[in-house]
Amino acid sequence: MRHDSPQPAPGTCRDANRADLAQRYQAVRDQTRALAAPLSPEDCQAQSMADASPTKWHLAHVTWFFETFVLEPFEPDFKPFNPAFRVLYNSYYNGVGEQFSRPQRGLVTRPDLAEVWRWREQVDERITQLIAHTDNADALRLIGMGLHHEQQHQELLLTDIKHLLSINPLSPVYQRAWPLVSVAPVPARWVECEGGLVEIGHAGEGFAFDNESPRHRQWLEPHALMNRLVTHGEWLDFVQDGGYTDPRWWLAAGWDWVRTQGIRAPLYWTLHPEANALPTVFTLHGDMPLDPHTPVVHVSYFEADAFARWTAATHADQRGARLPTEAEWEAAAATLPVQGNLQEAGALHPMPARASTGLLQMFGDVWEWTASSYSPYPGYQPTEGAVGEYNGKFMVNQTVLRGGSCATPASHLRASYLGCGWRAACSASGQPDVMSGQYTKLLENQSDLSILD
C-alpha cells in the first residue's frame, strides 16, 4: 500500500548537487557500518530496555526511512525489499500505518543481521540510482533529511550499545583506545552576556529540521554563562555533600524519582564508599576510574536542576546559578564555530576543557540541559506529509538540550539544533553576573529517545 508522498518544507535541504549528495550518502552509510563493526551479531540483537533499541533495529530502521519516504513515492516501478518490513521497522509514523511494539524490538530475531545488511545494500544501490536520475527536488531533499535522520541514529546506536554493555558484569569494551590525556584543569569562570533583543532559530541556507524554525525574536536579560562544562570533580562534591539525599535541591517530581529509583549518583557511576575510593565510571572504553576534570555526563534534567540549586546555595561565587534558557545558549553559541569533541574525533567520551578564553565546550562533549520547554516556535509549521510526524507531535512534557555530544557527527550539528545536558546560567539582579558550568548527558533520558527514534 502506498501512502501520500511526504512533502518536505521548502528550503529544508537545498543540496541539489547530485555528486555532493551521492558522496554524502555514501559517507554517512559507511560511517554507520563502521560504528557497528566492533559489535558481534549477538551485540546487535539485544535490547537492554524499552527506551533503547537493538543495533540491528537501528540499521534496519534508517534503511526503512529511505525505502518508505524516498523510494516508495519517487522510484519508478517501486517494489519493497520485503513488504512486511514496512510495519516491522516503522518507529512512530502513524501516517505510514501500524508499528511493531517498541519494547519488544530485541525479540525480533528474523530477519537476521545478514539479511538486514543485504537490505541496506540493495537500498543503497537504488538510492544511488535515484540520485543520479531523478529530476524531483523533493526526492533529493528527502534523501538529505534521511541522512540527517541516520546521523541521529548513529548517536542513538552508540548510546544504546553503551547501556547494553554496561549491564554485562564483564564490563565489555566497545573501543579500546582510551582518549583521556593529562591536562591542566580549567577554573570555572563566568562569561558575561549583555542580553537585549536577539534572534534564534535556523537562518542559514543548509539543512535544518522543522522544529528549528521560524527564526524569531527573544528578549534576554543580562546574564552570564559558565566558561566550561561542569566536571566529575564538581559533581562528586555534590554527591559527597549529600546532594542526592537532601530534598531542598530537588523538584517534586525529581525527588520522587530519586527516592523511588534509589538514585545516588549519575548513571554509570559505581560508588565505592567502603573502600574510601573514587567512583568508577562505565564508558565505551570499559569501566574507568573517575577523572575529576572530565565533564559529567548522563545526568537527568532533575539532577542538573538540583545541582544548580545546590551550587547556588553553597558556593558564594555561584549565587544565582541556574540552567540557561535555550535562547541564552543559542545567542552565545551562534557566535562560535561548530567545533569540539564530536563523533569524528573518535574519543566517544567527553574530554576535559583545555585552557583558553571565552566559552569552551559549547559544541560536542555532552548535550547540555536548558531550562526551556520543548515547544513550537511562533509560527511553527510541521513538514507536510507523513514525515511531518518527525518532531511536532512530541512537543509536550520535554526539555530542550543543546550543543550535541561526543557521539554527534560534526556535519549534523549547528547552533539552532535542538536535542535534549546543560550549562548553568545566572541572571543579573544586583549580584555579579554569573553563569554556571554545564551539565550533560547523552541520551538515556526518555525524552531524548522519543524525539530521535
- Please give the residue ranges that form the binding site for Fe ion (CB under 5 A): 91, 453
Cell of 322: 541556574
Nearer to Fe ion, 160 or 365 (CB): 160
56 CB-contact burial (10 Å; exposed 0-12 / middle 13-18 / buried 19+): buried
Closest approach, Cβ 73 to Fe ion, in A, equals 18
Closest CA to 156 of 38, 284, 62, 58: 58
CA distance 77 to 194: 59
Q: Closest CB to Fe ion among 145 and 366? A: 145
Least separation in angstroms between residue 116's CB and Fe ion is 15
Q: How far is the CB of 93 from Fe ion (least distance, A)?
A: 9
Pick 90 or 436: Cβ nearer Fe ion: 90
Distance (Å, whole) CA 120 – CA 126:
10
**What minimum distance in Å lies between the beta carbon of 319 and Fe ion?**
42
**C-beta of 453: minimal distance to Fe ion in Å?**
5
Least distance between Fe ion and beta carbon 153 (Å): 6
**Is 103 or 242 the residue whose CB approaches Fe ion more closely?**
103
CA-atom Rg of the chain in angstroms: 22
Please state the closest distance from residue 60 (CB atom) to Fe ion, in A.
11
CB of 6 to Fe ion, least distance (A): 14
56 backbone φψ class: left, alpha, beta (φ>0; ψ -120 to 50): alpha
Judged by CB, which is closer to Fe ion: 59, or 371?
59
**Residue indicated by cell numbers 549580584:** 431
Residue at 291: amino acid letter: D
Q: Which is nearer to Fe ion, 201 or 404 (CB)?
A: 404
Nearest distance from C-beta of residue 433 to Fe ion, angstroms: 40
- Nearer to Fe ion by Cβ, of 91 and 151: the residue is 91
Instruction: Give the H/E segment covering residue 373.
Output: strand 367-373
CB contact burial 347-381 (16+ within 10 A = b; e otherwise): bbbbbbbeeeeebbbbbbbbbbbbbbebeebeebe
Supply the DSSP string of 212-259, one letter for each residue: G-S-EEEEE-SEEEESSPPBHHHHHHHHHTTGGG-GGGS-HHHHHHHH
CA–CA distance, 346 with 301 (Å, rounded to integer): 27
d(CA 284, CA 442): 12
- Name which of 291 and 453 has its Cβ closer to Fe ion: 453
Pairing outcome for strands 286-289 and 223-226: unpaired
In the complex with Fe ion, which residue's Cβ is closer, 234 or 453? 453
Half-sphere exposure of 324 (CA within 13 A, CB side): 40
What's the closest the beta carbon of residue 149 comes to Fe ion, in angstroms?
A: 6
In angstroms, how far is the first alpha carbon of the chain from the final one?
23
Residue number with CB closer to Fe ion (183 or 395)? 395
Cα 212 from Cα 380, distance rounded (Å): 9
